[in-house]
Every structure is written in C-alpha cells, then in structure tokens.
Structure 1
Amino acid sequence: MIVSIRKVASAAMMAGALFAASCSKPSGEAPAPRTEFNIGWSIYAGWMPWPYAQQAGIVKKWADKYGLKINIVQVNDYVESVNQYTAGKLDGVTVANMDALTIPAAGGKDTSAIIVGDYSNGNDGVLLKGSDDLKAIKGRSINLVELSVSHYLLARALNSVGMSLTDVKTVNTADADIVGAFASPDVTAAVAWNPQLSAMKDLPGAHEVFSSADIPGEILDLLVVDTETLKANPNLGKALAGIWYETTALMQQQDAKGKEARAAMAKLAGATPEAFDGQLSTTYLYADPAKAVAATDDPALITTMTRVRDFSFSKGLFGAAKSADAVGMSFPGGKTLGDTQNVTLRFDDSFMKMAADGKL
C-alpha cells in the first residue's frame, strides 16, 4: 500500500510557521555558495521518481555534472518533512501547493517552486452512500481530514452545485481511520485520497460524486527550494531539473526499462507494481518540461492559487493575518498575488524552461 500524503494539521502548520520565524536569517545576510544539499521527500506516487533516481545513480550523475552532492532524504511523515524544510533542516522538499503556501510561505520562509511535478487527476474524491448525485450531500456529516486538500476539494465540490461549507458538517477523521469510518452504517459521506479512496469506493452503496479530475490542475505537487539558497547556488536548480526530467522520461517508457523503473518505484513505496500503476493512472505527471512550463505560465495557476489562499485564510491557516493578501506570491512574467512587499512563495519556471530548451 502506498502511504498517503497531505496529512495536514493546523497545530503542525503553526509550529512550522513559528519555527521558521525563529530560525530566519538576519536581514541582509545572504547564504554563501555551497556544494552539498539535502532534499526531503515522503511517499506518494508522484514523488517516487526522487528516491528511484538516487537508487539508479541519476542523482549522482547530475550532481557530479555541477560539482555538487545532493542527498535525497526520506521523511516518513509528510507534514514533518515540510516542517523540517521550514525550519531550515532541508534545502528543498516535495510538497502540495496548498501546504507550500500555508506552512513555509505563511511562516515567512521565502520559497521557490521550481518543478511543477504533477496534479491529482482523480487521486482525491468525494463519496456518498445511497446517491450518485452530489446535491444529496446537503445537510450530511462529512468525514475527512480537516484543513487538508480533502477539505479544499469538498469546498470546490459544494461550490460546483451552488452550496458552501455551511451546508454540511465536517467530522475530522484521520486518514488512517477513514476507511473504517466510512464502512460504518452511520457514516454516509466522506472525502479521501488514494489509496484509501480506492478501498472506500469498493464498499457497498458507495458512489464517487466529485473528484480532483473535476478540477484539473488545482491540487498540485511541487518541488520547492529555499529561495536564498537557490539564488546563491543556481546549479542546484539545474541539477534537480535534470534529475527530474531524466527520471520521469524513463518511467514513461513502455519498454522493459520503463517497466523496471516503475517496479522499482513501487517497491520503494511499499506497493505492488499493479497498485503503483493504478496510482499513476490518477496522477497527471508533468514528464514533459514544456508542458510543465505551459502550466506554470498559464493564468489559470493564479486563479487556482487565489482559491487556495482564500480557502486557507478562511480556515485560519495564515495565523494572525488580517487578510488573504498577507502572503504574497509571484508568478512567471512578473505577475503577483497578495502583498508585493511580502512575497514568500514564488513559482519559478526558469529551470523547467532550461530543461525544455535542452540547456541544462
């Protein structure tokens, strides 16, 4: 079974934010160039290229090209990996777009998203018992991991049929418990992600009435790097892009080499090859850098991040901030969202462009 991601708790977020503030560098102190870096990851189908690349020697190949040493570090708990990055213990980390905003960026850590790796294309879903009509959700209690992408997906689902979160009641349920909860006759609605979602869809009377495939490109999975570290060490960005695109190109192959690579990733994730391929089928992987650049440059990304930040602010995930504009974000082409004097999340397409242009 592939361990689930995006397990978000407000306490962990706030701890990360406070930790970032306490560990921030003095104003004006630029980091010195370095040669060794630590990049954190946690288990998720779209992030398995990173540990596989390390195992297969692809990390070393690209690191050697730029005279670097890159350590790909597994962190068993997803939120802990993001908190470690926020605290400065990691130079970069794999993270969902919502969590990049609400943990490091909201905590004041200047962060650059340099690889848009994939989006959930059915890995997250809303389930009902006894009806295949989303409108039947009105008035029900919904079991989900509160303040996570499941909560965001529910808000988007309700909005699609003219409802809001005030039309339902949410019941905070740990991802480890949600399959058992939904199996109970008393629970008639839930939101979950894979692999739990697949198990829940197989339960008698279950109907998937909305999924992340209905909002393509909104639940994004990224590789982010500390902005100041990246500025002082641009070759790190080049090496990471080279690693990612060589590895994802390999795993897309339908020959023996591609099958072998996917099977190795499945093993690293604790899954069977069949289960891993199932996860990939509901994950839109940006293996082509040109497509990743197009997605990052698309105005739709600003619309998505506006929705994400407005939801996050409404749920108190920006701490004491008085406005959703408190956390600034920048996008390719000089476009910004929120406070231009406090930009702490940057979508940087430059390294993806280098890959697309063959200039790494």
Structure 2
Amino acid sequence: MLQGAKNIGSWLVAIGTNDRICEETFRRAKEKSSRVKFSPQLEVVKNRYPSVSIVIPFLNARKYISRIVENLCLLSYPNFEVVFVNDGSTDGSDKEIGKLLSKDKRFPYKILNLEKNEGPFLARYKGTLAADGEYVVFHDIDDRLQLNGIDRLVLDTVNFGNNVLLAVSLALMKNAKCTGDVWFIDTEKKPMDYFHKTVKHLSGRINPVDSLLPKKVLLESYSLLVSLLGDFGKNFSVGEDMLLVYHMLLNGAVEEIVPVYYIFRGYETGNNFSVSKNLEKRVQSLPLAISYIVTSLTRRQLANLDQLEEMENNIRSRAKVLYGETLGERFWKNFLKYKNYFEKTFGKTL
C-alpha cells in the first residue's frame, strides 16, 4: 500500500507470525529478559539498563511531595537517580523530600537548592549539569510517571538511536485522578511541520518532559541555548520545554520526532498555581519561544519574506483571539522585542 510513497510519517508496526524459528527467537528473548534485533537474521540481544537521571524542578510544591515520592518508589526501572531542583521554595518542600526519602532509600537522589527562583528553564539546566545518568528524563513535580515508562523508552531509544525524540502524549489528571482524556502528540510527516503548527496555534506541539534524552547530546544543546538567551532565560517559564526541543531539531541534535502511545505522562490539570495557566506569564514568556522559531526559519532560509509576513500577521491576530485586545497586543510587542534580539545575536552564537 505504501510502496514508493514519500513522507508518510513515523509508524509503529506490530508483526505476527506462525514461523517456528521466529516464535522460538522471541520466546528465548523473553526468557532472558532480552530483545530481538532485526538484522539480516533475527538476533537475541541482551537488554542494557543505562543509568537514567530524572530531573524534577519545584517551587513551593509541598502538597505534591508525598505523591511524587510514592510514584517514584514504584517505578520498575532498575537503574535511576532523581535530581530534585529546589527553585527558591519558601514552604519547606526540600526538607519534606529529605524527610520522606530518608525513611525509604529505594533510589539514590540529590536535592539541588538554588539561592533564588530562576524559573524552570534554568532549573532544569542546572539539574542536568548535576545529573550523573547517561540519559536524562525531565519531569514536573505535580505530574505522574507511568511505572514502566522509563523501561519502555530506554528499550526503544536504544533501538532508534540517540538522534530521535520519543514524544510522549499526556493522560490528563485532576487531583491525581485520571479523567479519561488524552492529549495526543500529532504525527507529522516532517519535523518542520511542528514548527509551522506551533506558530499557527501559538501553542507547543512537542516537549521533552517525560521523554528520554542522552545527557551528552542534551547538555551540548542546552548549554548553547542558555548562552543564546542570556538574561531572557531567567524566569522563562512558558514554552521553555518546547523551545529546547525545537533548538535541538534546528541544530541536528534531534533529527526525528516519533510520537509514542504505549506510555503517557500523567498531566495534572487541577494545579491552579501552574505557571502555564498564568496569562501574564504566558504573554511574557511564550513570545520568546515563538520569536526564536520565526527568526530561525527565516535565517536558515526555511521561510521566505512572504511566509514571514504571513506568520507575523497570524501571530498578532491569534494572540488577540487567545488573550484579548490588551494582552494580545502585549504578546505582539514582546514578540517583536525578542525577534529583534535574536536577529542581532544569532549570527554571533549559531
């Protein structure tokens, strides 16, 4: 059906067989807790369990501490650490973590205390610097990790290679209970299609949270982005995760986005203090990510001047639809400010 077709997207294919040799190969792999590698011949390869660091920034999140600790203690992956990044909390969250985990040492952990609130963009970066794992998983403290999620992601990351982002969809929760609704990651033919959809809708289409990234690759891209943003990286709190992925795509650290639907990020919608729900924060931070995308596309000649004009007209009108006349116009002015900054600095940094 798809013979000769181009740009058909990424597919997960399930294969069934009544071939005795194939059946025996999969049986041996299961018995040995191994996997089957598809080379010229089927080959049983022993599973590897590389070290994984789960980086969790938090700010005054005491009400979620017991929940996240319980969730982490139930994870099935055998080789992980947790890096908690205290982003200037004043409610004793860090002490509560230490108190609970001192009783149940099921996994190694560290608490990195920042002197003042710096926002999730820099908190995740500093957590990555402190991480000892070969791979890094970003997680939000009010969300929930699927218990075998890291196992599955590690297996497929090893199969795909380090330049693929396995993007995880969101299973919505309210007060820690799943609502039954899921926000699926779109499947696009080309990675660049995610950029255009983000600019069109002014919302993130992909992010790295609860996905698995090799620390070395991640840190190289993250460090470059921190340097590029300068002071704008401080308190960058909406769209910061999306921007990191798009930065990695544009610089070749990620070459392909593969949505996966066998695990989900348990995403808490009942947290009324989430910065993503703060319109003032959105209007301040999100234009930074949008302006980066627009400037990158034009400077790399992935969009011409007519397309740039069309994108900017859409950004201004869409912002007013989403945020109203006053906040929408502020969104637009922030976009122009950041765009002007990127136009002046891109040539020096990239």
- Return the TM-score normalized by structure 2: 0.23
Query: Of the two, which has the highest radius of gyration?
Result: 2
Which is bigger in relative contact order (C-alpha 8 A, separation at least 6)? Answer: 1
- Return the TM-score normalized by structure 1: 0.23
